[in-house]
Amino acid sequence: MNLILLAPEALESDRLARVTDPRRLRHLREVHRARPGDRLTLGIMEGGIGQGELLTLDDHEATFALDALDQPPPPALPVHLVLALPRPRMLARTLEHVTALGVKQITLLHTRRVEKSYWMSPELEPEKIHRHLELGLEQARDTRLPAVTLEKGFRPFLEDRLPGLLAGRRGLLAHPGMAAACPRGIETPTLLLVGPEGGFIPWEVEKLLEAGCEGIHLGPRILRVETAVTALLARLF
Ligand code: SAM
């Protein structure tokens, strides 16, 4: 937690914040080992970032005297990530990593090799997703939450949603064995598609290429989803 992310209701006034969330209190005590008088970085959800002085800390609440929280969060990556739904634990980690890296639009997609049971996972409950996104924001000192959309059918996604998503974006389909290497250092708005643990099936690859996506590879090493996503984002942007 490199940033204490405040919900707007944590603000008692412009200059005073009260934190009561047990996770954040525990982190302040056990990781920061914070003491009254310490200065820490705080940010308001969807708002600015600045410093504050810890006034009080006990088992139930922490209070902060705030400086102006007027610094902007870091810039977002120009990417919409379409991720075939991974297994729940990998989903949790991947959401955290991609949020920390600055992704603001995420679509979780069903493809043939996604286990149907993954769609029933408690990890997909909105509060759970929110929690992973918050952890990513706090890690990276960001305040803007990504939007997460669930697409439970590949064909409706392909026919109804993909054309709109590709309007004004460069579509990149990450798939081992594609002819082109993943580009480096681009700034173009991009739609990046990453497959499930078993990969995209040939029919899905064919349809995504027909729809206008470019196939790209990351070399001969087949990476786990969370590693592949991180490597792709780092290399692309
Ligand atoms: N056996 C699967 C296959 O060959 O497609 C492996 C899938 S991999 C564990 C999961 C996803 O990560 C892939 O669908 C792809 O989107 C991405 N990925 C992993 N390694 C990659 C590589 N070397 N090049 C491009 N994409 C890769």
Copy the structure tokens of residue 129: 């997703």
Q: How far is the CA of 161 from the centre of ligand 1 (A)?
A: 23
**Can you tell me the distance from the alpha carbon of 119 to that of 128, in angstroms, rounded to the nearest whole number?**
14
Q: Where are the domains of the chain?
A: 4-66, 79-236
Instruction: Report the predicted TM-score, pTM, of the whole model to 2 decimal places.
Output: 0.96
Q: What is the mean pLDDT of residues 222-233?
A: 98
39 band by pLDDT with thresholds 50, 70 and 90: very high
Which residue has a Cα nearest atom 3 of ligand 1?
199
In this prediction, residue 31 carries a pLDDT of 87
Q: Which of 94, 107, 175 to mutate to test the pocket of ligand 1 (most atoms within 8 A of CB)?
A: 175
14 has a pLDDT exceeding 90: no
Residue whose entry in the numeric block shows the structure tokens 């984002």 = 233
Residue 227: closest CA among 28, 94, 133, 100: 94
**Residues in CB range of 90: below 8 A, 6 or more apart:** 197, 224, 225, 226
For the CA of 193, the nearest atom of ligand 1: 16
In this prediction, residue 65 carries a pLDDT of 97
Side chain identity at residue 8, one-letter code: P
SS3 146: coil
pLDDT per residue as tens digits for the range 55-92: 999 999 999 999 999 999 999 999 999 999 999 999 99
Q: Does domain 4-66 have CATH number 3.40.50.300?
A: no
C-beta neighbour count of 32 within 10 angstroms: 15
Ligand 1 lined by 43 (C-beta under 6 Å): no
Ligand 1 lined by 25 (C-beta under 6 Å): no
215 band by pLDDT with thresholds 50, 70 and 90: very high
Q: What is the mean pLDDT of residues 181-195?
A: 98
Domain 79-236 sits in CATH at 3.40.1280.10
